[in-house]
Structure 1
Amino acid sequence: MAVRILTLVGSLRSGSHNRRLAEAAVQIAPEHVEVGLFEGLDTVPFYNEDIDAEGSVPAPAARLREAAAEADALLLVSPEYNGTIPAVLKNAIDWLSRPYGAGALSGKPVAVVGTAFGQYGGVWAQDEARKAVKIAGGVVAEDLTLSIPSSVVRFADLHPVDDPEVTEKLSGVVEGLAARAAATV
């Protein structure tokens, strides 16, 4: 049985470098690992406890929770917006953290990677994502990281899957995350 990794991308732009990095994770996954991209984070409403009631959870949020619950692990791919995590990714973490103590992130291995225009590759946003995931009950794989700087230049004419350094490091993250997930099943 394949290990299932759900990937959430913090950029909604169709041609974003982080979206392409997530696509690369799908393409380079080994045979025993199924990496899937969650589509529709843009339709998940902002978390509001008033609408998070049994029987009335908005369908996009319920679909997100279901996809995360079915996954063995999560891979978050985050750009950096104004020095921090994009709202769409933080919102997904908020929905996945509920119900408190039993959310879809609870006890699941999670890795955070990403690329950004700046010289540090979005590490501030990735650190914020790891912090939020930990508080939400996920088990953050602190040693499985990848921060790619200068995305606008590096990926101007090159898809991340065609960059040998990126695919080597991304493969390490995917394989490490799959091994953590297999160990917890």
Structure 2
Amino acid sequence: MMLQSPLILQIPPSMQMTDEQLFDFCQVNSHLRIEKDRFGHLSIMSAIDDKIVNLNGSIFEQLRVWSQQHNVGVIFDVNTRFKLSTGANRLPYAAWMKLERWNTLSSAQKEWFIPTCPDFVVEIRFLNHNLQLIQEKMTEYMQEAEIKLGWLIDLQHRQVYIYYPDKLEECLDNPDTVSADPVLAGFILNTSSIWSLS
């Protein structure tokens, strides 16, 4: 069952998890999507079902094809965790990071919570999910020094919100395609195929 909003668990300061404990907690509950906000609250989100897999797969596959052609960065799927400068722990549906930034990370950092924000993130609003909560998450991303571009794909209204740091968001109504220029030069997402899956 898809939750309309994440289940928010407020953790008392005396019971805050270390990164190691949070990692273990997420591992034993791998059937759920668990994020931590900058206040230490845990968001328990819907499990990954077939619909999420298909939608995310369409976005990720298009990004993967572009990435292989250009070979200037690394792509990440819905299972990759990023630790932001605020301490928040996020799981974007898709992300991309410049290769030179990725290469500065140690092997251990690459296999655990990636201790930085990606250059590009994609979040998805599924039907009946709380739009404001996801918009707040996008605003959080845009406050990170490393971020260059973010997309919020709203399946309910067939809209795509475009986010850049220090700029007002832009909203596209029912676009057939969305361009990531100039951050991901030449990457154009075919959104019409995504609407057909929603």
Structure number with bigger Rg: 2
Between structures 1 and 2, the one with greater helix share: 1
Q: Same fold (TM over 0.5)?
A: no
Between structures 1 and 2, the one with greater strand share: 2
What TM-score, normalized by structure 1, do the two folds share? Answer: 0.40
Tell which has more relative contact order, 1 or 2 (C-alpha 8 A, sep 6+).
1
